[in-house]
Amino acid sequence: MRFNPSNTPDIDMPAYEEVKTTSLTTHNGQRLSPKEDRFITLYIKYADSGQAAREAGYTIRESVKNKDAAYVKKGYEMLSKDYIKDEIAYRMEEYRDAQIADTKEVLMYLTRVMRGEEKDQFGLDVSISDRTSAAKELNRRIQEIESNTDRAGSKEVHLVLRRE
């Protein structure tokens, strides 16, 4: 393919985005190849090392008769690397943490219910009793945070709201 200057994007155009190539790294700085990164993601998705190795793009020699077994073997080989296992465990922990609501998210939900911005499962407005219950719960939680502030100073509030 020949270089054609008319096909290059104009740098001054606002739609131009520079593509940055960054190396893939684990949470502790170990470099990953793109295939290793895809393998980790797919292994978490499927919990099957053979399928993850196949879809990540690892190749098996043509002379191998049982390709499924060869992909499983490649998957086990990948799982035998400590940095791969550590990264899988780290990403799974991040996924689990993301599934749990933090304090700020709970307070935002209670506020939306109290203000009538949330709907029930049928798309109807939340009842007055539910809005009142949310207001009481929100008030209780805010008072709890304020009492922690009074006892331990502003440092405690910082620790309570740190998971944002």
Predicted local confidence at residue 153, as pLDDT: 53
Overall average pLDDT of the 135-152 stretch: 82
Is residue 14 scored above 50 in pLDDT?
no
**What is the gyration radius of the CA atoms in the chain, in angstroms?**
26
Q: What is the pLDDT of residues 25-73, one digit of tens each?
A: 888 888 999 999 999 999 999 999 999 999 999 988 877 888 889 999 9
- Mean pLDDT for 143-164 is 60
- CA-wise closest residue to 78 among 28, 32, 23, 25: 32
Rounded to whole angstroms, the Cα distance separating 58 from 164 reads 38
Please tell me the distance from the alpha carbon of residue 139 to that of residue 8, in angstroms, as a whole number. Answer: 58
- Binned at pLDDT 50, 70 and 90, residue 9 comes out as very low
pLDDT attached to residue 52: 93
pLDDT digits (tens, 9 = 90+) for 107-129: 899 999 999 999 888 888 989 99
Helix axes 34-46, 67-79, angle to 10 degrees: 100
22: helix, strand or coil: coil
Question: Is the model's pLDDT at 78 over the cut of 60?
Answer: yes
Compute CA distances 2 → 6, 31, 111, whole Å: 12, 33, 60
Query: Over the chain, what is the mean pLDDT?
Result: 79
Determine contact, residues 110/137, Cβ cutoff 8 Å.
Answer: yes
